[in-house]
A and B are shown apart, each in its own frame.
Chain A
Amino acid sequence: AQSVTQLGSHVSVSEGALVLLRCNYSSSVPPYLFWYVQYPNQGLQLLLKYTSAATLVKGINGFEAEFKKSETSFHLTKPSAHMSDAAEYFCAVSENSGNTPLVFGKGTRLSVIA
C-alpha cells in the first residue's frame, strides 16, 4: 500500500525566505508524485507532478520539487516566499502503472510573515 508523510503540519516563513515543505512517500512500485495547493474555501490546484521523467520538476508560481528515490522524498521548495503563497499544501502519490487513486498526505499549512 502506498502512503505519504508530510513533516510539519504548519510551517511559518518570513516573506522573501526559502520555502521548504517536506514529503516522504512509501510505494512498492515506481510512483507518480504530486503537490497540490489549496487556498481558503477553494478546491485543490495542481502545483507540479513527477511522472518518471526529469527528477527536478518545476511547477507554477515558482515552486519546484526534486524526486529522490534513495531518500523516498519529494520535497517542495521555493527560493523566495511571497505573501500570496500562504495556503495548505498537499503531497500525493500514486502507482505509475495502474489506476489506483491518489493517496494524499495530511497537508502542511504555510504561513508567510511580512
Chain B
Amino acid sequence: GAGVSQSPSNKVTEKGKDVELRCDPISGHTALYWYRQSLGQGLEFLIYFQGNSAPDKSGLPSDRFSAERTGGSVSTLTIQRTQQEDSAVYLCASSYGGQQGSGYTFGSGTRLTVV
C-alpha cells in the first residue's frame, strides 16, 4: 500500500484480556518497528524486525508482550493479560532496509485503552 496501515485504530479491552494489534508496512520495506507512545513519555522502542534476521526484542517491557512478522510483511503485536499501564498508543513504522538514514514511515497508530 501507499502507507503504513495499522488496525484497529482504537481498542478498548478489559484488564486481563489478550489483544492483537496489526501492522501492514509499505510494500518493499524490509524493516519494521513497533513503538509505544504514552502521554508525556515520548516514543518507547519495543521491537524491530529486519528482513529474515532474528528480531531485536530488547525494548519489550515484559514477557506479556510478543510480536511476529509473517512472510517479511505484516506484523502482529500481542499483549497478553493486559494491565491498565498498557494503555497507550502503539505505533508501527517501516523503512527501506536496516540503514537508519532513510528515516521511518509511521502508521497512524492503535490507541489501546485497558479498563
Question: Which residues in A have some Cβ–Cβ distance to B below 8 Å?
Answer: 9, 32, 34, 36, 41-46, 49, 51, 90, 92, 94-96, 98-107
Chain B nearest CB: distance from A101 CB in Å?
A: 5
User: Is the CB–CB distance between A46 and B103 below 8 Å?
Assistant: yes
User: Is the CB–CB distance between A101 and B48 below 8 Å?
Assistant: yes
Contacts of A42 in B (CB 8 A): 108
User: Is the CB–CB distance between A90 and B42 below 8 Å?
Assistant: yes
The answer for the CA separation of A101 and B36 in the assembled complex, in Å, is 13
Given contacts A9-B40, A96-B100, A102-B100, contact A43 B106 (CB under 8 A): yes
* Besides the known contacts A95-B100, A101-B100, 17 further A-B residue pairs in the complex with CB atoms under 8 A apart: A42-B108, A44-B43, A45-B106, A46-B105, A49-B101, A90-B43, A92-B43, A94-B100, A98-B100, A99-B31, A99-B48, A100-B100, A101-B33, A101-B48, A101-B56, A101-B59, A104-B42
The answer to whether the Cβ of B72 comes within 8 Å of any Cβ in the partner chain is no
The answer for the CA separation of A95 and B101 in the assembled complex, in Å, is 9
The answer to whether the Cβ of B96 comes within 8 Å of any Cβ in the partner chain is no
Chain A nearest CB: distance from B3 CB in Å?
A: 9
Chain A nearest CB: distance from B91 CB in Å?
A: 6
Residue of B nearest to A98 (CB): B100
Chain B nearest CB: distance from A23 CB in Å?
A: 12
Some 26 contacts from A to B, beta carbons below 8 A apart, are A36-B106, A43-B106, A43-B107, A43-B108, A44-B43, A44-B91, A44-B104, A44-B106, A45-B106, A46-B103, A46-B105, A90-B43, A95-B100, A98-B100, A99-B48, A99-B98, A99-B99, A101-B45, A102-B100, A102-B104, A103-B45, A104-B35, A104-B42, A106-B40, A106-B41, A107-B42
